[in-house]
Amino acid sequence: MPKFITIGEPMAVMASQDVDVSLEKATHFKKYLAGAEFNVAIGINRLGHSVSYISKVGADTLGRFIIDSAQEAGLDTRNLICDEKFMTGVYLKQCVSTGDPVTSYFRKNSAASNLKIDEIDLSDLADVQMAHLSGIFPALSDTTLDSFRAFNDKLQENKVFTVFDPNLRPALWKNKKEMVNALNHLAKNSQIVLPGINEGEILVGSRDPETIADFYLNQSNLTESVVVKLGADGAFVKTKNATAYTIPGFKANQVVDTVGAGDGFAVGLESALLEGKTLEVAVYRACAIGALAVQSTGDSEGYPDREQLIQFYKSHNYQGDL
């Protein structure tokens, strides 16, 4: 069994190639892999770690594209299920010269949103060291919320270290109150929580990084550390023993596409922790891969392999532990 596991919805993204043209008027698109948790799985695997990915896709062209891509990347796909009854999710993404692109999703009643816990083989989690959990999958449907909770319970039973990224998608929830209550409750069951500063304003009611961190540290005995993503400014870290510090961000030479930067941050943090690095070193790597992510089109195309990460560090005169 791989050392790292995650569950989520893989998607295809049709990325516009027409710069600063609305999705309604764009006519040139390129197909990429997408899905927050799938992005993380690809990124962790690219850095040399064995990864198990759990999901369901439709028996359609996009589903085959995702399965083939996952297998070619070397992911463990024993729990990547193909279901003829449902379609694979897809979304369109605008190409912009500055700022965040407009996106348009087509995922309602997708195959992944119908993934039930009894379809997943969780008989052997003994070798799994870490799990990445996101707030997107439980937001897809009542079915996935139940599956997510059962999966998390199984992880806890097997003492798997978990990292939870709230990854807000308000459009997937019935209302803001339900979203806030559900995500904050789910966060209680992870050792590390990764809110963004904008997410903290919604989930906690504050943009102060320490206030956000204190909320998650105080609401759960299990949560050991909170890492608040600050975008280009880096990240604020606070641990259960009250140690607090800020890690500066790495400068991106150019910002091409911001989608996938947060998932890249998770890739950096979790891959370093899998290698036994300290949390501080892990957050440096998280900031580095977040900066690399925004310099490429596609959701995960900017995530580095080991040599590319080393070269990025050298180009930014980073002298710390790799």
Crossing angle for the helix pair 261-274 and 279-293, to the nearest 10 degrees: 150
298 has pLDDT over 80: no
Confidence check: pLDDT of 283 > 70: yes
Whole-structure pTM value: 0.92
Mean pLDDT of 99-103: 89
Alpha-carbon distance 23 to 273, whole Å? 39
* 296 band by pLDDT with thresholds 50, 70 and 90: confident
pLDDT surpassing 80 at residue 260: no
pLDDT tens for each residue of 31-66: 998 899 999 999 999 999 999 999 999 999 999 999
**274: enclosing H helix or E strand:** helix 261-274
Rounded CA gap, 26 and 96, in Å? 12
Res. 11: pLDDT tops 90? yes
Range 274-279 average pLDDT: 96
What is the spatial distance between Cα 178 and Cα 279, in angstroms, rounded to a whole number?
A: 32
Distance CA 217, CA 252 (A): 31
Q: For a pLDDT cut of 90, what percent of the chain falls above it?
A: 86
Residue-averaged pLDDT of the chain: 94
Q: How confident is the model at residue 98 (pLDDT cuts 50, 70, 90)?
A: confident
Residue 257: the pLDDT is 65
Cβ-based neighbour number of residue 287 at 10 Å: 25
Q: What's the pLDDT at 123?
A: 87
Do 237 and 226 contact (CB within 8 A), yes or no?
Answer: yes
| pLDDT reading at 5 higher than 90 | yes
Say which residue the tokens 């119908």 belong to. 114
Structural domains of the chain, with CATH: 4-315 (3.40.1190.20)
At 117-143, the pLDDT tens digits run 999 999 889 899 999 999 999 999 999
236-260: b (≥16 Cβ within 10 Å) or e: bbbbeeeeeebbebbebeebbbbbb
pLDDT class of 293 with cuts at 50, 70, 90: confident
What six digits make up the tokens of 194?
């990764």
Is pLDDT above 70 for 1?
A: no
**Of 102-106, 133-137, 147-151, which range is least confident?**
102-106
Closest CA relative to residue 230, chosen from 184, 195, 272: 195
Alpha helices, H only, 278-319: 279-293, 306-315
Catalytic residues: 263
Residue 299 is predicted with a pLDDT of: 60
Could you give the CA distance from residue 313 to residue 319 in angstroms, rounded to a whole number?
8
Q: Are 79 and 37 in contact (CB under 8 A)?
A: no
Average pLDDT over residues 225-235: 96
Cα distance between residue 202 and residue 300, in whole Å: 26
Rounded-to-integer distance, Cα 318 and Cα 315, Å = 8
Is the pLDDT at 187 greater than 70, yes or no? Answer: yes
Residue 288's identity, in one-letter code, is A
Position 301 pLDDT exceeds 80: no
Largest CA distance in the chain: 54
Distance CA 322, CA 307 (A): 11
